[in-house]
Amino acid sequence: MSKDKLNVAIVYYSMTGNNSQMARWSEEAAKEEGVEVRLRKVAEEGTPNNPAWEAEAERSKDVIEATSDDLDWADLIVFHFPTRFGAPAGKMKAFIDGQGALWAEGKLTDKVVTATTSAENMHGGQEMALMMFYTSMAHWGAIPVFPGYTDEVLFAAGGNPYGTSVTVSHDEPLSDAIEAAVKHQVKRAIGIAKKLSD
């Protein structure tokens, strides 16, 4: 994938705004690195029925929905999704399951990928959700980039080596530590994707 500029797709699903916020920090970090960026959402199917859901629907209303073309275009894909019942949110999984044709054409091979999640409880399944997600990435032949403990900022953000994870419901803003961890994770993934593109 040798080329002048790296293509980075940021794909998020978010009902009450946490993963939407993390996706926007990813976008900022990617733009700081001078790469081509597409911010894309996996759409909500229901109708907003609480203030947090309504606010997120409003905030993401102009974001284009993710398609197979975005994944095909990308060298690096950054995924953001909530943990639900200890697993990746079903709407993100449905989006992944919708990539069978692209997968069959071999077009998901060698994509560099990295992921973050959020859950309401400290031990609510964040690590499980991320590792389940990376299982699907293995089937793609993708190359996962884990944050590990590669920077001090990760410790303040909870120290999840599989991907930045947040413990939050929908009634409080995400901390500066999470912003720093997301940005570090994305910049690290960009650095690795660039090395692979040489």
In whole angstroms, how far apart are CA 197 and each of 15, 73, 87, 163, 169?
34, 14, 32, 23, 38
Contact positions with ligand FMN (CB under 6 A) in 77-106? 82-86
What DSSP character marks residue 157? T
Q: Is 1:110 a contact under the CB 8 Å cutoff?
A: yes
Nearer residue to ligand FMN within complex by CB, 16 or 114? 16
Q: Cα 137 vs. chain centroid, distance in angstroms?
A: 13
User: Do 66 and 40 meet the contact criterion of CB atoms below 8 Å apart?
Assistant: yes
Stretch that binds ligand FMN, among 58-66, 113-121, 180-188, 190-198 (CB under 6 A): 113-121
Pick out residues in 120-139 that bind ligand FMN (CB under 6 A).
Answer: 120-121, 124-125
Using the contact rule CB under 6 A, the part of the chain among 31-39, 57-65, 95-103, 116-124 near ligand FMN is 116-124
CB of 148 to ligand FMN, least distance (A): 23
83's enclosing H/E stretch is: strand 76-84
Question: In the window 30-49, what residues touch ligand FMN (CB under 6 A)?
Answer: none
CA dist 121 and 130 (Å) reads 15
Residue 50 lies near ligand FMN (rule: CB under 6 A): no
Restricting to residues 169-188, which ones interact with ligand FMN according to CB under 6 A? 169-170
Binding site for ligand FMN (CB under 6 A): 14-19, 82-86, 118-121, 124-125, 168-170
